[in-house]
Amino acid sequence: MKLMICGKGGSGKSTVAALLAKQYAHVGKRVVVVDAEVSTVLGPHRLLGTGVPQDLIGYFNGEKSVREKMKALRQAEIPPETPLLGTWTYDTIPQDFSSENDGVKLVTIGKIRDTTVACKSPWMALARQFILGLDLAENDRVIVDAEAGIEHFGRGIDAACDAVLMVIDPSHESVRLAERASGMADFVNVPLYFVLNKTDVNTSPFLRKVIPAGNPIIGEFPHDPELLRAGIEGRALPGGYPVAAAVLDNLAVLQG
């Protein structure tokens, strides 16, 4: 299972990604978290309790080299779902470009630190290729912490995954984004599920009314001061978080 977590900036993507990763590890899965947030310098390492891995784009000799390699490979007219940059298993992910804690391995695609860079294409292409090339054993799971917004749909990152989970917090932007993603049925190549986040007794029923019907809501993380506190203090999140367990159970049922 390769699961992409998306949503608006600040909706709780990294928090949900970390809770689900920790939950998978808690029940004995080996997990790869792919940090595909290329524009946000801070990754989910603190929430996972791992170190900061080197950017994977460095393994491929940087942005220019990835761009040139992708161009050359594309001209060779290879079928779109063929991994173009190689394949990896949990064990063969380059060690210097990942960091591990408690059964969770973090891989960071790369952070655009140079503010003059206008085109994210090489990073997005690498994210897609790395996910596509991850060859999973039965006990392995992949969670992609995606860039805010829905650009990754157009870049085919969703198509490299088995399902997309959109995190929806109580905000107008989240509702609009859910509507746009839901309306992009032709674009989104895999099942799209919703999870609500940071809700309370007032916002939960209201939010449920305004988000598009048709995509299952597979879980709801109420506003939790402990999660917020762990986030602010930069502490690792726990496994065994009940909502995370419920989300993964629902996902397993829906994905068969």
Ligand X SMILES: Nc1ncnc2c1ncn2[C@@H]1O[C@H](COP(=O)(O)OP(=O)(O)OP(=O)(O)O)[C@@H](O)[C@H]1O
**Is residue 168 within 8 Å of 207, Cβ to Cβ?**
yes
Going by the DSSP 8-state scheme, the letter that residue 157 receives in this structure is T
**Is residue 227 within 8 Å of 191, Cβ to Cβ?**
no
Q: Name which of 232 and 253 has its Cβ closer to ligand X.
A: 232
Binding site for ligand X (CB under 6 A): 7, 9-15, 37, 40, 148, 197-198, 221, 223-224, 227-228, 231-232
Does position 108 bind Mg ion by CB under 5 A?
no
Q: Name which of 13 and 69 has its Cβ closer to Mg ion.
A: 13
**CB-nearest residue to ligand X:** 231
Q: Name which of 85 and 174 has its Cβ closer to Mg ion.
A: 174
**Is residue 237 within 8 Å of 224, Cβ to Cβ?**
no
- The CB-side HSE value for 197 (13 A sphere, CA atoms) comes to 26
Which entry of Mg ion, ligand X, none binds 11, CB below 5 to 8 A by partner kind? ligand X
Q: Which of residues 9-28 bind Mg ion (CB under 5 A)?
A: 13-14
CB 79, min distance to ligand X, A: 33
Spatial distance between the Cα atoms of 145 and 17, rounded to a whole number of angstroms: 6
List, edge to edge, every strand of the sheet that includes 2-7: 99-101, 104-108, 30-36, 140-146, 2-7, 163-168, 192-199, 217-222
Which entry of Mg ion, ligand X, none binds 110, CB below 5 to 8 A by partner kind? none
Q: Which two tokens stand for residue 249?
A: 């159970």
Which entry of ligand X, Mg ion, none binds 224, CB below 5 to 8 A by partner kind? ligand X
Q: Name which of 11 and 140 has its Cβ closer to ligand X.
A: 11
E strand or H helix that includes residue 225: helix 225-233
**CB-nearest residue to Mg ion:** 14
E strand or H helix that includes residue 144: strand 140-146
Q: Name which of 21 and 70 has its Cβ closer to Mg ion.
A: 21
CB 13, min distance to Mg ion, A: 5
